[in-house]
Amino acid sequence: MQPRDPTSKPTFVTQPFLPPLSELLPSLEKIWETRILTNGGPFHQELEAELCRYLGVKYVSLFTNATVALITALQALKISGEVITTPFSFVATSHSLLWNNITPVFVDIDKQTLNLDPTKIEAAITSKTTAIMPVHCYGNPCDVDAIELIARKYNLKVIYDAAHAFGVECHCGSVLNHGDLSILSFHATKVFNTFEGGAIVSPNLEMKTQIDYLKNFGIDGETSVIEAGINGKMSEFNAALGLLQLKYIDELIEQRKQIALTYQSQLQRVTGIQVVGPFDQIKANYSYFPILITDEYRMSRDELYESLKSIGINTRRYFYPLISEFPIYQNLPSSDKSNHPEAFKLSNQILCLPIFPGIQTSVVKKVCALIEGD
C-alpha cells in the first residue's frame, strides 16, 4: 500500500453527524431563558414522544447513556442469578450484568448474523437462569421469534441490547417491540446521537413508570422515595440535540445506505472478503459496515487493519477480543473458547469499515481498492 500523505486527514471508522449550529441556537435560547436544564423538562418530554412516533414503539424512557439504561432495565425486571448473553459485543452488555451481581453465561453466535445462536441457548439454561440478553449486533435483528419461544418455554425475561438498532424494522415492525425491554444507545458514534444518551423501550405504561422512577433516584413526589433508583436522566441539552437530529435521520440513513451499497458492489469481487448482512430487515440502518477477512484473503485481518491504519484509514475490530477473553470474564465457566467456537473465529476475522454520513464516495472507493490490492 502507498505510504500516507502527511497532509491528508485521517479517515475514522465513524464520525458523528452534527446539525448546523444555527439550528440549535433557538433551543439553547429557550433553555437559557427557562433555566430548566434537566429532570424531565420540556425537551425531554418532547423527544420521548417524537421517538415513540418515529420508532413505532409505545413507550420510551430517555437515559444518560445505554450502559446505565441496561443496568436499570435489569433492575426494573428484577433479574438475578444467570443471564444468557453473547460474547461478541461491546463490553457494556455484560458489564451491566456484573453491576447487578448477575453471572453472564456466554453462548455462541450464528455465523451468518453474528447474533446469539438460538439453537444453542437451551443447552445453557440452568435452574439459576432468569433471562436472555441478546444483542442486535450492527443493527442486524436477532432471531426474535426463536428467542421468544425459548423464553416462553422456560419462563425467562428477554432484554435486548439494541444499542445498534435505532430505526431497524423486521417482519413485524420495529425490532424494538420484541422482548420485555429494548435498550438503545445515542452515543456520538451511533446512527442517531445526542452526544451521550440512550433509552429504554417499554411495552406498557406500568413498566415505563417503574423505569422512570428508577432513573430518577426512585423519587415519587417531593417527600417520597419508593425505589433504590439511580441518576440516569438525560439533560435538556442532549434532548434538544436529539430533536434536531431526528429532523435529519431519514436522510442520514439514506446516505449510509448508499455508502453500504458502494462497499457491497466493490467488495463482492474480492477473493477472501465476505460482507456481513444486511439480512431480512424490512428497514436497515447501516450503522456499521462489517466484513470478514477469511483464510482465502491475501493477508490476515490484523495485517489489513495495520496497513490501512498506516495510511490514515481507521477501521475497527468490533468485536475483538471477545468479552469472554477479558481478564474479568475469562475465568467464568462459559468463557472457555470451546464453548463458542464461531464467536472466537469470527472475532478474529471481523473488520468494520468507515461508514458515516459525509464520507466521500472517493474515500469509500479508495478503501475498496486498497482492500482489493491496488
Which residues of the shown chain bind ligand T4K in the complex (CB under 6 A)? 12-16, 65-67, 89-90, 92-93, 135, 161, 163-164, 185, 187-189, 198, 314, 316, 318
By C-beta, is 11 or 334 nearer to ligand T4K?
11
- Least distance to ligand T4K from the beta carbon of 296, Å? 28
Buried b (16+ CB within 10 A) or exposed e, 36-62: eebebbebbeebbebbeebbebbbbbb
- For residue 225, what is the DSSP state? B
CB of 358 to ligand T4K, least distance (A): 11
Least Cβ distance, residue 309 to ligand T4K (angstroms): 11
In 165-267, alpha helices (H): 205-214, 236-267
**Whose Cβ is closer to ligand T4K: residue 197's or residue 278's?**
197
- Residue pair 281/168 in contact (Cβ under 8 Å)? The answer is yes
User: Collapsing DSSP states into helix, strand and coil, what is residue 263?
Assistant: helix
CB closer to ligand T4K out of 209 and 314: 314
Burial string for 269-301 (b: 16+ CB within 10 Å, else e) reads: ebebbebbbbbebeebbbbbbbbbbeeebeeeb
> Which CB, 185 or 347, lies closer to ligand T4K?
185
Q: Is 3 exposed, middle or buried (0-12, 13-18, 19+ CB in 10 A)?
A: exposed
H or E stretch at 62: strand 59-63
Dihedral angle sign, alpha carbons of residues 5, 369, 261, 294: negative
Burial class (CB in 10 A: 0-12, 13-18, 19+), 172: exposed
- Give kind and range of the element (H or E) at residue 372: helix 361-372
306/179 Cα distance (integer angstroms): 39
Q: Are 344 and 330 in contact (CB under 8 A)?
A: no
CB of 117 to ligand T4K, least distance (A): 17
Amino acid identity for residue 185 in this structure: S
**Which CB atom, from 95 or from 157, has the smaller least distance to ligand T4K?**
95
Looking at the Cβ atoms of 297 and 319, the one nearer to ligand T4K is 319
Give min distance, CB of 305 to ligand T4K, in A: 13
Identify whether the C-beta of residue 370 lies closer than 8 Å to the C-beta of residue 364. Answer: no
- Residue number, 88 or 344, with CB nearest to ligand T4K: 88
Give the CA angle between residues 30, 33, 38 to the nearest 5°.
70
Nearer residue to ligand T4K within complex by CB, 14 or 129: 14
Q: Which is nearer to ligand T4K, 115 or 270 (CB)?
A: 115
What minimum distance in Å lies between the beta carbon of 194 and ligand T4K?
10
Q: How far is the CB of 282 from ligand T4K (least distance, A)?
A: 22
The residue type at 119: T
Residue 272 Cβ, how far from ligand T4K at the closest point, in Å? Answer: 25
User: Which residue carries 436544564 as its cell?
Assistant: 37
Q: How many CB atoms lie within 10 A of CB 127?
A: 6
The distance of closest approach from Cβ of residue 163 to ligand T4K in the complex, given in angstroms and rounded to an integer, is 3
Shortest reach from residue 223's CB to ligand T4K, in Å: 32
Q: Which CB sits closer to ligand T4K, 174 or 185?
A: 185
